[in-house]
Amino acid sequence: MDIQQLRAFREVARLRSFSGAAKELFLSQPAVSRQISSLENEIGLPLFVRMGNNISLTDPGRRLLSYADDILHKLDQATRVIQDLRDLESGTVTIAADDYLSKYFLPCFVGEFHRRYPNFQLRLLTQPQEGLTDLLADGKTDIAFFCGEPNENVSLTLEPLCLEELCFVAPGSLSPDIASNLQKYAPFLFPPDMSSFGEDYKLHLPESMIHSNSPISIMSLEGIRTALIGGFGCSILPRNLIRWELEKGFLHSMSIGLECPVILTYPKDTRLAHPVLLFLGVIRKMLSL
């Protein structure tokens, strides 16, 4: 009696079908039939009653099934334990995020993870937010990071990590009443439509400005930052994007009470591998400091 025979037996018993078990095990139907026949010959008792297309378990078959389930479950547990022991020595973490989080949120955690666990590999995939759930669904990334909750109707575990603050930014000093003095800082450089932070910022703009056409279109947050440093226009940007420029006095900002959550996601009911848990531990510890 070997493991392959028990797997074939369990699948035939579960599906009541030799062809169905063959598809599940990626074997041919004759191969499954041979494994069952070999198992029955070794035991010396029939395990199935075959009547045309109907298959049912005999009493010995029902008794063996409970043991087969237990043996295969224990084997799967042992395999996972061995894999975890291997993962303690080395492994790969694949993470995904959009362009902004890949450049301005994740690098500090990636660097600290490498410092603590130099034997582990880490892959960072950059993808627009609308494509991140596909990477998760296809198993191409272990975890993904979103600004705000994913719009797609998929079954994900969501863990808010922190808040990214958006602020009004301009090259010169700012008036306390920005709304009534926006023309002073014109033109307003609208963040690109596909940026991470949605369009909630428009709630802080006068109606006339929302529906006006800006004479300049800059299709990246970094491009808007460069224009502002050059003394042109105003915008609403994440504070982390311009932290250095604010500290050096190249730009000035004002809080507008708008924040966007950074959310960790992975498929529900997924058992995260040990290297992934180590990476998440680094993030949680650094954010708690």
Q: What are the tens digits of pLDDT across the range 114-161?
A: 999 888 899 999 998 888 998 998 889 999 999 888 876 678 899 999
Confidence of residue 235 (pLDDT cuts 50, 70, 90): confident
Q: Taking 60 as the threshold, does the pLDDT of residue 60 lie above it?
A: yes
Stretch 18-36: mean pLDDT = 91
In this prediction, residue 285 carries a pLDDT of 93
For residue 86, pLDDT over 70 is answered with no
Give one DSSP letter per residue of the chain, joined into a string: --HHHHHHHHHHHHHT-HHHHHHHHT--HHHHHHHHHHHHHHHTS--EEEETTEEEE-HHHHHHHHHHHHHHHHHHHHHHHHHHHHHHH-EEEEEEE-HHHHHHTSHHHHHHHHHH-TTEEEEEEE--HHHHHHHHHTTS-SEEEEES---S---EEEEEEEEEEEEEEESS---S--GGGHHHHPSB-PPPTTSTTTTGGGGGS-HHHHTSPPS----SHHHHHHHHHTT--BEEEEGGGGHHHHHHTSSEEEEEEEEEEEEEEEETT----HHHHHHHHHHHHHHH-
Highest mean predicted confidence (pLDDT) among 100-109, 179-188, 267-276: 100-109
CATH architecture of 3-88: Orthogonal Bundle (1.10)
Mean per-residue pLDDT, 283-288: 92
Q: What is the pLDDT of residues 178-221, one digit of tens each?
A: 655 666 777 888 877 656 666 666 666 666 555 555 667 788 88
Architecture of the structural domain at 92-289: 3-Layer(aba) Sandwich (3.40)
Which pTM value belongs to this model? Answer: 0.62
Each domain of the chain, given as residue ranges in start order, spans: 3-88, 92-289
